[in-house]
Every structure is written in structure tokens, then in C-alpha cells.
């Protein structure tokens, strides 16, 4: 059995699909700690734009929205994401029509579950991201999401805070999106040193005060709160710091 | 003052590891205008914020959905049509909007209200500028999705509404805020001012407060049914006008109107409340009716000493959803003088009363019928109707598609096969157990028949 190892990018994945499509029994993964079977043979795949293009056009011939879905699913933190996407492509090319509505197929269910997790977290973090203002008026938001969604958030906030300058920093993956008031770019960012603006602490305190005051103590329902706002996100929420 | 802390310290941010191009972006824009510092001096006092938030927190509505207001050039913010929750409080409610009163100095004397004029509580008032500053700064840090502004009636209804309206216009035009705004209407205020305010905000609401005119007269003597319903009607006509004339820009209230009523402070049964709800949805074209279960914060001999409980509120919301999204009539859910059953959710209760309509075949039943199966909601019904176009579905398919079958299995067949319990009493007891949260009780002669049955069958 062949195991195709990619570097985690979408291009490398599509290249791997090109190589793996004709194999009878193979796995695609970007997980370096994958458990290998005894007879397995690993192949490291580097991205090849030509192969990638050919796979993409084959996919688009069947369903012109499928490529977007696949790219979105590949942002997931699920270690099996490449295999799930690969299975979906195989099914798609076998049926040769859009399969997104065939909701009882296992391949579609698996891909939809990935999409649900990714878009769900992106939506949740549109609310739970917290900016702090530095001395120059630049807004800085550190966070550590499960899935790789920083550029989805960049798009949202670039539309919303059009005249501000801001940085969204994924601390776990060490990447940051930066917006300068006109356009945004993504880049590598290890550590950030922030000097807060004069008002920052005062507004954080006001927000904490507000958070405390708006709660109705006679109706406690902690479970609901933790369900909607999981504890792993609390690290970056000022209202949850003492 | 608070803002004075570290004013002189202004070093720049160093973000190591960024590509050079990115660093250049930040270096380019280092100038701080003096204006900024002048503006930020209008910082609101912490205590004022506390008083005015605590007075506003019993308002239930906090949704930010329904408006897709675009970002205007040079402005801040936009509307998100699905709504965004920004935080959750330990009572399980979401914080989407900054919910505050402009003032809690009230001339009215509503029996249930903690801010009524006859009680001695600390009072506070905010200026329009203070509110705008707070909103912009909270919004920038992504704490909130917008503003929910309400107010007690100070001086006169017209004066209050005027100041609210002024705040709205300032926020939109001077501060260039394009985020979501929900404004409370003040009863008895002049129609002209209300319309002026309605043009700037996304949603407005007049609270009907209590489910009947008698209760309103008893508990909120200064408010009349007319003072609440007439402005609601004229706003809904204005919205209707925009819809008819296909007005795209500067629509009145793009997110429509809502209202709220207190449950359990007055003796009306659920049937009557739901009847009123349905009428409001039909005649006023409301987006939501909110129910707030009565919490005894105020001592009064006209009010009950105990709260209504959260279960009743929950059941009312379930029935509300059935009316809006599932094609149910109020008469089907509940009789006018009855309360909703606490044991079963309203859809289950309806299905148990109408067992002759079930089971339905999953592969052929129309959408309207699927929506009436207990346990199958709008999403599941959609999934089923889409999936069955390509392949016949069996029970395992449904389970894999994450359709909750705990309740539904008693009411459906898959490819003609039935997977539920045979007798209605068995269905009844298993539904009761499916919904109940571990409320085991000792069997006695006076137990409910369903409990007795579960003891006999041994099914938990």
C-alpha cells in the first residue's frame, strides 16, 4: 500500500490526488505521525502546478463549486481530512455529476462534517475574536483556533473595519493576517510585542464591568454558556480573565 | 481620570517575524492625530455603566440578525445578516449587542419594573456622545455587534424619544457607525420623531409587556394598549410601503420589529398568549415575539411571589417556532384556556393527539408532513427531501445523516418498515422518558399512568 505524504497545502494535495488516482489501494495524508502498515511505502509529494490544474479542472467539470468546498475542508484540523477529500473526489469523478445533494452517501456526509466544523468555527470566532488597540491605533487580535481559518476572518474584518489597521494572529500556527486600511496579506509571525494604547485598559475594564452587570444571577445556566463558548477559547477573552 | 494612564507612553508595536513588506505597511501609518485624543476623553463612568446595564438586562431581545447594512465609505462596521454572538454570560444568554438604557430616571410607575418612579434606586443618565464613544470603542475591539438602546421615560415621552433619536443620528452620521442598532420605542411619543428614528436604525421594538389589556391596566397603568399597538402598526405600514415600492437604499427598519411580554406575572394561560402572538405575527408582521419568564425582583402585592419558571418559557418558545417555521396553527397546538403540557414538547403533544396521521413513509411524505414529525426539524426535513431524490432511504441512512430518531422512530416508516413501539401508551411513556432529565420517582398509587407503565415494562 502506498502512502502519499503532502506538506498540508491544497496544491500538494491535488498533486497527490493526481498521483494516487490510479493506485488501487493508497492513503493521502499530511500527518507526519501517521501509523504505517507493514507493507506500506511512503511517497513524499511536492506541489506540481500542472498536475494540480488537471485535477482541479476534472473536478470542476463535474461540479463547479466542489473545488471551493474541498479547499475549505482542507483547513480542518482533522488528521484524516486529505483522505476524506480524496474519497469525495473519487466518488465525484465516478458519478460525473454534482454529488453535494446526495446526502446519504458516506463520502458526502464525511466531507460535510468537515465543512460544518470549519465554517462553524469561523462563524463562532467572528464573534469571539478580541482586538486590543496598541499605542499607534493598530488593532491586534491573538487567538488559537482549531482549524486554519485566519484568512476567512481577515475577509470578514476587512469588510467590517474598513478604515482601521489590524492584525489577526494565529498563535498556534504562527501565521498572521495584516490589513493596512486598503488590502490585506497573510504572513509568518512568530511573536508579537504589543504596547497597549492609553485607553486600552480602561475599555477592557468597562467591558468586564458590563459583562458582569448584564448577567441575570437568578437564572444560572453555566452549561449553556460553556456549550456556546467553549472553555478553550477563554484564554483570549478579556471578560473571562480575573 | 482613567484615560490618563500611560498617556505619554507611545512606543510602536514590533511584530517580529513578519515579512518586510508587512513591516513597511505598519511603518507607513504611524502618525497619531491629535483629534483622536480629544475624542477619547469622553469616557463613560464605570458606575453609570453598571447602573444602566443592570436596568436594561431584563430585556430579552439581543439578536443581531436580519440586516445586511453595508459599510459606507469612511465608516466603521456593517451588518451580518445571520447575526453574530460575541460572548455568553453565565445565565446562558448571548451578548450580541451593547444593551443599555440611556437613563433609568422614569416618570412611569409600572408595578413589575425595578426602575419605576416610586422606588429608591441609584439613577443615572448618559449623553448621546458618551453612548457613541462607548459603542465605537467596543465595536472596534469586536466586543459587540452593535447597540441595543432603550430608556426609561424621563421628563416626557417626546423628550426621551427626541434624545434617543438624536443619539441614533449622531452615531450614524457623525461617528459613521454602520453596525447594527436596535432601538426601543417609547410609548406615547410623537409619530414623527419615531419615524425619523426608524430611518436610521435596523430594528425597533415596542414591548406589549403583558398579554392582556386588563393586566396592562393593573400593572402598567400609564401605558395603554393603543399607545403600544398604534406605533407598531404605523411602523409595519412603513416597512410594507418600502417592500411594495422595492426601495433598496435607506429602507426603514431592515431587520423589522419585535416585541416582548412578561410571562407569569399575570394569570393569562398559554393558549391566550399564543393567540396574541399569532395575531402579532399576522397583523404587525413582527420578526420575533420574546417571552420573559417573570422573575420576582420587585416586592408588590399585585404580583405573584414566585417566578414562572424556565420550562414554561421554553415551551412557549417551542410553540412560537411551530407557528413560524412549521406551518402550525395556534388552535392545533393549544386551546385558548389551556396551558401547554410541561411533560411533552408541543409538537409531541400534537402528534400524540393525532396518532391516526402516523406513521408516515420517509421516502414519499411531502415536506409539510415531515415537518410535523416529532424530532424532525427544518434541517432534517431538508436533508431527507434532498437525499431521497437520489436513493431510497432506510433507517441506517437516517442515523448516519444525523437525524435524531429518538422520538421520530415512533412516527415514521422507512421503506415500509416500522421501528417504533406498537401501542400508543408505550410511545407515550418512551417519549416522556426521552424528554425528561433523570426525574425518577417512587411509584405510588397516584403516579401518572406513564410512570406506572415504565415501571411495568422496565424501559427507562
Q: Which residues of A touch B96 (CB under 8 A)?
A: 127
Q: Which residue of B has its CA nearest to A185?
A: B22
**Contacts (Cβ under 8 Å, ≥6 apart) of B450:** B343, B425, B428, B429, B432
Q: Are B154 and B160 in contact (CB under 8 A)?
A: yes
Give me the residues of B, 129-168, that contact A with CB < 8 A.
134, 137-138, 140-143, 145
CB pairs under 8 A between A and B: 228
Nearest to residue A197, comparing CAs of A125, A139, A240? A139
Would you state the pLDDT for residue A106? 95
3-class DSSP state of B324: helix
* pLDDT tens per residue, range A192-240: 888 888 889 899 999 999 999 999 988 889 999 999 999 999 999 999 9
Which residues touch B71 (CB under 8 Å, ≥6 apart)?
A159, A160, A162, B77, B78, B178
CB-based burial, A187-201: b 16+ in 10 Å, e otherwise = bebeebebebbbbbb
CA of A213 to nearest chain B CA: how many angstroms apart?
5
Q: Which three cell numbers stand for residue B36?
A: 483622536
> Per the structure block, which three cell numbers stand in for B315?
415551551
- How far does B454 lie from chain A, in Å, by closest CA? 29
> Can you tell me the distance from the alpha carbon of A181 to that of A184, in angstroms, rounded to the nearest whole number?
8
Strands B257-263 and B203-205, by their bridges, are parallel
pLDDT, one tens digit for every residue, chain B (460 residues): 223 333 333 333 334 344 444 443 443 333 333 334 434 455 678 899 999 999 999 888 889 999 999 998 889 999 999 999 999 999 999 999 999 999 999 999 888 888 889 889 999 999 999 999 999 999 999 999 999 999 999 999 999 999 999 999 999 999 999 999 999 999 999 999 999 999 999 999 999 989 999 999 999 888 899 999 999 999 999 999 999 998 887 789 999 999 999 999 899 999 999 999 999 999 999 999 999 988 887 778 888 888 888 899 999 999 999 999 999 999 999 998 999 999 999 999 999 999 999 999 999 999 999 999 999 999 999 999 999 999 999 999 999 999 999 899 999 999 999 988 878 888 888 888 665 554 444 444 444 444 444 444 444 3
> In chain B, which residues have their Cβ closer than 8 Å to the Cβ of A126?
80, 84
Separation CA A208–CA B230 (nearest Å) = 39
Contact B274, B333 (CB under 8 A): yes
Query: Which residue from B minimizes the CA distance to A133?
Result: B141
How far apart (Å, rounded) are the C-alpha atoms in residues B422 and B305? Answer: 45
**For B264, left (φ over 0), alpha (ψ -120 to 50), or beta?**
left
Q: Which parts of chain A sit beneath pLDDT 50?
A: none
Are A189 and A174 in contact by the 8 Å Cβ rule? The answer is: yes
User: What is the model's pLDDT at position B440?
Assistant: 43
Q: Do B140 and A131 touch (CB under 8 A)?
A: yes
Return the residue in B29, B90, B99 with the most chain A beta carbons within 10 A, the one to mutate for interface testing: B90
Under 8 Å between Cβ of A23 and A2: yes
Rg (CA), chain B: 26
CA angle A87, A88, A91 (to 5 degrees): 85
> Quick one: B35 exposed, middle or buried, by C-beta within 10 A (0-12, 13-18, 19+)?
exposed
Angle, helices A49-62 vs A66-73, to 10°: value is 120
Q: Which of A121, A25, A11 is nearest to A74 (CA)?
A: A11
Contact yes or no for B76 and A221 at CB 8 A: no
- Torsion-angle region of residue B375: left (phi > 0), alpha (psi -120 to 50) or beta? left
pTM, entire model: 0.87
CA pair distance B451, B460, nearest whole angstrom: 10
Q: Hey, how many other C-beta atoms are within 10 angstroms of the C-beta on B443?
A: 12
How many residues appear in chain A? 242
Name the H helices within chain A: 10-20, 49-62, 66-73, 81-95, 106-128, 150-160, 200-214, 222-228
Start-to-end CA span in chain A (Å): 53
Distance from CA of B375 to the nearest CA of A (A): 19
Report the distance separating Cα A225 and Cα B454, nearest Å: 34
Amino acid at each position: 500500500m502506498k502512502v502519499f505524504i503532502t506538506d498540508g497545502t491544497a496544491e500538494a494535495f491535488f498533486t497527490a490526488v493526481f498521483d494516487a488516482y490510479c493506485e488501487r489501494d493508497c492513503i493521502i495524508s499530511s500527518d507526519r505521525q501517521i501509523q504505517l502498515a507493514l507493507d506500506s511505502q511512503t511517497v513524499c509529494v511536492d506541489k506540481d502546478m500542472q498536475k494540480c490544474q488537471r485535477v482541479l479542472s476534472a473536478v470542476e467539470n463535474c461540479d463547479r463549486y466542489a473545488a471551493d468546498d474541498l479547499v475549505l475542508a482542507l483547513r480542518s484540523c482533522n488528521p484524516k481530512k486529505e483522505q476524506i477529500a480524496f474519497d469525495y473526489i473519487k466518488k465525484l469523478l465516478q458519478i460525473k455529476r454534482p454529488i453535494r445533494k446526495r446526502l446519504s452517501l458516506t463520502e458526502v456526509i464525511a466531507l460535510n462534517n468537515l465543512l460544518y466544523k470549519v465554517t462553524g468555527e469561523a462563524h463562532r470566532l467572528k464573534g469571539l475574536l478580541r482586538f486590543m488597540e496598541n499605542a499607534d491605533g493598530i488593532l491586534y487580535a491573538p487567538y488559537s483556533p482549531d482549524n486554519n481559518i485566519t484568512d476567512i476572518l481577515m475577509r470578514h474584518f476587512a469588510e467590517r473595519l474598513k478604515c482601521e489597521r489590524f492584525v489577526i494572529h494565529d498563535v498556534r500556527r504562527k501565521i498572521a493576517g495584516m490589513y493596512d486600511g486598503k488590502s490585506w496579506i497573510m504572513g509568518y509571525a512568530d511573536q508579537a510585542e504589543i504596547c497597549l494604547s492609553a485607553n486600552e485598559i480602561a475599555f477592557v475594564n468597562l467591558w468586564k464591568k458590563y459583562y458582569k452587570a448584564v448577567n441575570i444571577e437568578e437564572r444560572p445556566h453555566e452549561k449553556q454558556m460553556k456549550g456556546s463558548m467553549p472553555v478553550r477559547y477563554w484564554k483570549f477573552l478579556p471578560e473571562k480573565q480575573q | 481620570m482613567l484615560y490618563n494612564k500611560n498617556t505619554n507612553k507611545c512606543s510602536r508595536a514590533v511584530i517580529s517575524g513578519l515579512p518586510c513588506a508587512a513591516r513597511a505597511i505598519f511603518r507607513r501609518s504611524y502618525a497619531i492625530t491629535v483629534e483622536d485624543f480629544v475624542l477619547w476623553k469622553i469616557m463613560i463612568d464605570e458606575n453609570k455603566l453598571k447602573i444602566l446595564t443592570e436596568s436594561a438586562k431584563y430585556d430579552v431581545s439581543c439578536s443581531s440578525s436580519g440586516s445586511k447594512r453595508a459599510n459606507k465609505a469612511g465608516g466603521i462596521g456593517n451588518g451580518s445578516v445571520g447575526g453574530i454572538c460575541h460572548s455568553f454570560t453565565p445565565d446562558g444568554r448571548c451578548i450580541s449587542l451593547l444593551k443599555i438604557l440611556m437613563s433609568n430616571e422614569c416618570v412611569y410607575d409600572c408595578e413589575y419594573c425595578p426602575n419605576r418612579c416610586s422606588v429608591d434606586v441609584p439613577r443615572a443618565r448618559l449623553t448621546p456622545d458618551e453612548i457613541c464613544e462607548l459603542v465605537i470603542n467596543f465595536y472596534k475591539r469586536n466586543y459587540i455587534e452593535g447597540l441595543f438602546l432603550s430608556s426609561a421615560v424621563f421628563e416626557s415621552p417626546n423628550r426621551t424619544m427626541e434624545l434617543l433619536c438624536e443619539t441614533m443620528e449622531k452615531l450614524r452620521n457623525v461617528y459613521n457607525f454602520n453596525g447594527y442598532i436596535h432601538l426601543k420605542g417609547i410609548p406615547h411619543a410623537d409619530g414623527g420623531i419615531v419615524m425619523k428614528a426608524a430611518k436610521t436604525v435596523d430594528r425597533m421594538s415596542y414591548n406589549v409587556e403583558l398579554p392582556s389589556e386588563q393586566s396592562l391596566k393593573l400593572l402598567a397603568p400609564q401605558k395603554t394598549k393603543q399607545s403600544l399597538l398604534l406605533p407598531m402598526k404605523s411602523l409595519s405600514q412603513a416597512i410594507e410601503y418600502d417592500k411594495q415600492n422595492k426601495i433598496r437604499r435607506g429602507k426603514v427598519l431592515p431587520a423589522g420589529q419585535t416585541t416582548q411580554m412578561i410571562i407569569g406575572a399575570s394569570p393569562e394561560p398559554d393558549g391566550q398568549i399564543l393567540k396574541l402572538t399569532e395575531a402579532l405575527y399576522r397583523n404587525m408582521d413582527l420578526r420575533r415575539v420574546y417571552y420573559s419568564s417573570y422573575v420576582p425582583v420587585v416586592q408588590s402585592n399585585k404580583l405573584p411571589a414566585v417566578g414562572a419558571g424556565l420550562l414554561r418559557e421554553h415551551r412557549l418558545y417551542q410553540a412560537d417556532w411551530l407557528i413560524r417555521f412549521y406551518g402550525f396553527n395556534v388552535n392545533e397546538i393549544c386551546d385558548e384556556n389551556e396551558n401547554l403540557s410541561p411533560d411533552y414538547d408541543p409538537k409531541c403533544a400534537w402528534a400524540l393527539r393525532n396518532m391516526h396521521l402516523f406513521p408516515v413513509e420517509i421516502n414519499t411524505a411531502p415536506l409539510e408532513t415531515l415537518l410535523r414529525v416529532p424530532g424532525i426539524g427544518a434541517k432534517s426535513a431538508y436533508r431527507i427531501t434532498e437525499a431521497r431524490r437520489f436513493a431510497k432511504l432506510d433507517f441506517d441512512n437516517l442515523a448516519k445523516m444525523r437525524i435524531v430518531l429518538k422520538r421520530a422512530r415512533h412516527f415514521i416508516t422507512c421503506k415500509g418498515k416500522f421501528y417504533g413501539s406498537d401501542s400508543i401508551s408505550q410511545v407515550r411513556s418512551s417519549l416522556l422518558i426521552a424528554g425528561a432529565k433523570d426525574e425518577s420517582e417512587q411509584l405510588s398509587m397516584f403516579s401518572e399512568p406513564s410512570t406506572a407503565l415504565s415501571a411495568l415494562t422496565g424501559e427507562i
